[in-house]
């Protein structure tokens, strides 16, 4: 047994898991407040990463200007998406809502491929060294940064929902829309804010992944991997999203370990989360922390 490889993969799993956690958090945020399952979450990462890349390389902006501009753009984008596309969908059957976000996801990923091409493009160097050595393990600097950023984002989310006025309004809306409205909360703006925040934080995750692997259309795969994560954690639980992200990230890399050492099947890494998803749905459909509201039939 190759212990060194195992530990390396576990660390990888934890790092990628925090990123899954962040994306899943964004997904849960939208689901919790607007009851919409966002199949286009991965495209948020993709668009954010490409816009930031474009600002940094085409316009040669320094990172500390280009990144906030990206976030501002994503905020406008998220609000626009909610107002133009998702608002007319309120009250429509669930298949329509799902198909609208799937349609958006196809549209945006195709447009990104059209505008920026299909090949991965590297980010300009933002951090000095490529890899640091932590206890004998090679960890890429952007990964360390991504872990730190992810933890910061999670702390930020916790503060936002516990103490800020808007966060409390969002929780109230998620709890009961009519009551929230009667208390003077503008449900419309809460919906728009949920999409804006989700788009911004996803873009941040996209930029982080882009720095490590380069930007390419493969980024949108995060939007697909988010489903095992949120089903495991519970569709409407932020804590569950983080924990689910870590578990799926580690599980994936464990599968990679078993595959490379014993089975040699080749791509167990990509499918294991989906097997996990089916099993969870069969035995515990509301996940670890989700509200037990699913109707058994």
Partner 1 sequence: MATTSSALIPCGQYKTTYRKDTTIFPTPATRAVAVAALLLLCLAPLKIGGVELLGKYELNLLIQIGYYGIAALGINILVGFTGQISLGHAGFFGFGAFASAWLNNSFGVPVFWAIPLAGVLTTLVGLLFGIPAARIKGLYLAIATFAAQFILEDFFARAKWFTGGSAGTLAQPFSIFGYEVSGDHGYFYVVLAYVVLMYLLGTNLLRSRDGRAFIAVRDHYLSAEVMGIGLTRYRVLSFGISAFYAGIGGALFGHYLGYVSSEAFTILLSIQFLGMIIIGGLGSVMGTLLGTAFMVLMPEGIGALSRSVGGVFPALTDGLAFVKEGAIGLAIVLFLIFEPDGLAHRWKMIKTYWKLYPFSY
In the complex, which residues of this chain contact partner 1 (CB under 8 A)? 37, 85, 88-89, 92-96, 98-100, 102-111, 113-114, 224, 227-228, 231, 235, 265-267, 270-271, 274-275, 277-278, 281-282, 285, 294-297
Write down the least CB distance from residue 100 to partner 1, Å: 5
- Enumerate residues 6+ apart whose C-beta is below 8 A from 228: 244, 248, 273, 274, 276, 277, 280
CA torsion through residues 242, 248, 254, 256, sign: negative
Write down the least CB distance from residue 32 to partner 1, Å: 13
Pick between residue 35 and residue 181 the one whose CB is nearest to partner 1.
Answer: 35
Write down the least CB distance from residue 10 to partner 1, Å: 24
Write down the least CB distance from residue 104 to partner 1, Å: 6
Which residue carries 């999409």 as its tokens? 195
Pick between residue 211 and residue 280 the one whose CB is nearest to partner 1.
Answer: 280
Pick between residue 119 and residue 159 the one whose CB is nearest to partner 1.
Answer: 119
> What is the number of alpha carbons within 13 Å of residue 195 lying toward its C-beta?
26
Write down the least CB distance from residue 106 to partner 1, Å: 3
Pick between residue 257 and residue 269 the one whose CB is nearest to partner 1.
Answer: 269
Which residue carries 């990923």 as its tokens? 109
Pick between residue 160 and residue 286 the one whose CB is nearest to partner 1.
Answer: 286
């Amino acid at each position: 047994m190759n212990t060194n490889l195992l530990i390396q993969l576990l660390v990888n799993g934890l790092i990628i898991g925090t990123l899954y956690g962040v994306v899943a958090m964004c997904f849960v945020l939208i689901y919790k407040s607007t009851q919409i399952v966002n199949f286009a979450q991965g495209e948020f990462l993709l668009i954010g990463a490409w816009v930031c890349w474009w600002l940094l390389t085409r316009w040669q902006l320094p990172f500390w200007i280009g990144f906030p501009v990206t976030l501002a753009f994503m905020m406008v984008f998220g609000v626009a998406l909610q107002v133009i596309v998702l608002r007319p969908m309120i009250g429509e059957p669930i298949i329509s809502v799902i198909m609208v976000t799937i349609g958006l996801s196809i549209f945006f990923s195709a447009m990104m491929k059209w505008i920026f091409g299909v090949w991965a493009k590297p980010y300009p160097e933002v951090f000095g060294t490529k890899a640091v050595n932590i206890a004998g393990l090679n960890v890429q600097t952007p990964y360390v940064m991504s872990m730190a950023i992810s933890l910061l984002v999670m702390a930020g989310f916790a503060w936002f929902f516990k103490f800020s006025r808007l966060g409390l309004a969002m929780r109230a809306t998620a709890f009961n829309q009519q009551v929230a409205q009667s208390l003077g909360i503008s449900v419309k703006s809460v919906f728009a804010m949920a999409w804006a925040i989700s788009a911004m934080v996803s873009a941040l995750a996209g930029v982080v992944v882009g720095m490590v692997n380069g930007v390419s259309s493969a980024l949108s795969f995060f939007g697909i991997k988010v489903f095992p994560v949120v089903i495991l954690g519970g569709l409407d639980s932020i804590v569950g999203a983080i924990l689910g992200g870590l578990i799926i990230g580690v599980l994936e890399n464990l599968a990679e370990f078993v595959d490379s050492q014993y089975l040699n099947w080749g791509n167990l890494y990509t499918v294991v989360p989906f097997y996990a998803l089916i099993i969870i749905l069969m035995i515990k459909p509301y996940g670890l922390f989700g509200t037990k509201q699913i109707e058994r039939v």
